[in-house]
Amino acid sequence: MENKNITLPEAQQMVDQWIKTIGVRYFSELTNLAILTEEVGELARIMARTYGDQSFKKSDEGKDMADEMADVLWVLICLANQTGIDLNEAFLKNIEKKTNRDKDRHQNNEKLK
């Protein structure tokens, strides 16, 4: 696949098209939630070994942090598609919420200076 930038709506459409043509159908929402948890755990394992105090094991060989992040994103997009969430709209609303709520909070946090 060629390297190109895509939008969140395009990503949602790409996943939906893949599911409907190659994946047969979406797994149930609860199954996808369990899979999301599993994928986050796989990412956490690599992060703990790369940036934390744990050493790599033989079973960690060949694991790629970017690929694990993409797995997390994939399942999150599946859940959004299944539940009718427009991730673009949700993300923009979330940024606005965080901006309004935290506009002074982090600037005034002595721990961050």
Contact 77, 12 (CB under 8 A): yes
pLDDT band at 45 (very low <50, low <70, confident <90, very high): very high
Q: What residue ranges define each of the domains in the chain, with the CATH number in brackets?
A: 8-85 (1.10.287.1080)
Query: What's the mean per-residue pLDDT of the chain?
Result: 94
pLDDT band at 1 (very low <50, low <70, confident <90, very high): low
pTM for this structure?
Answer: 0.88
**CA 47 vs CA 20, 54, 55: distances in Å:** 33, 9, 11
Per-residue pLDDT averaged across 32-48, rounded?
Answer: 97
pLDDT at 74 over 80: yes
Cα separation, 37 vs 80, in Å, equals 15
Token pair for 42: 């796989």
Looking at per-residue pLDDT, the higher value among 110 and 30 belongs to 30
Residue 25: phi and psi, rounded to 5, are: -160, 165
Q: Count Cβ atoms within 10 A of the Cβ of residue 27 and give its class: 0-12 exposed, 13-18 middle, 19 or more buried.
A: middle
